Amino acid sequence: MAIYTRKGDKGETSTLCGNKILKDSLEIEVLGSVDEANSFLGLSASFLTEKYLINKVTQVQETLFKLGSIIAGAKGSISKSIVAKYEKEIDEWTASMPPLSNFIFPGGSPAASALFSARAVVRRSERLIVRLNKGRKLNPGILTYINRLSDYLFTLARYINFRQGIPEKSWRV
């Protein structure tokens, strides 16, 4: 099967529901941003060696695919239990690390750096989803999920650096 279809050669694409829309539409912008975040997550996982951490990243990727499908028109929702799980893990990881007293520079290990990049893209995705929500009322769980996900990725990046003994570089005014 060929990867190309030639159907989008004039700047249109089809949604999951079969509707034709322009490739520069807000919906496609959201989907592209979520896909970009997912790619950075894949990059992060490629640098990890611990199954525990790889599984955490892979679970996020799976949920982002689900989120994309919902944005594209599939039925479904993001479970509140995922957000609760993220909050629990954020709290556990945060309790195991030195307290955060300043802004920190994103970076550290390759895996953490890729997670910080994914987080920045997730934050862009959130801004786009908020705009999309103005014209198309989305399930409120989507906004909650994407907001919590940026916190989760930030904390996971810090946790990976902490586990690897890589000190955080603080930014001060």
Give domain limits for the chain.
22-97+105-164
Fold of 22-97+105-164: Hypothetical Protein Ta1238; Chain: A; (1.20.1200)
pTM of the predicted model, to two decimals?
A: 0.92
DSSP letter (8 states) at residue 20 = E
Mean model confidence pLDDT for the chain: 93
pLDDT of 66 over the 90 cut:
yes
Query: Using CA atoms, how far apart are residues 94 and 7, in angstroms rounded to an integer?
Result: 48
What does the pLDDT read at residue 10? 77
How many other C-beta atoms can be found within 10 angstroms of the C-beta atom of residue 169? Answer: 12
| Cβ(66)–Cβ(60) below 8 Å | no
Query: Using CA atoms, how far apart are residues 112 and 138, in angstroms rounded to an integer?
Result: 31
pLDDT band at 8 (very low <50, low <70, confident <90, very high): confident
Q: What is the per-residue pLDDT across 134-163, written as a single tens digit (0 to 9) for each?
A: 998 898 899 999 999 999 999 999 999 999
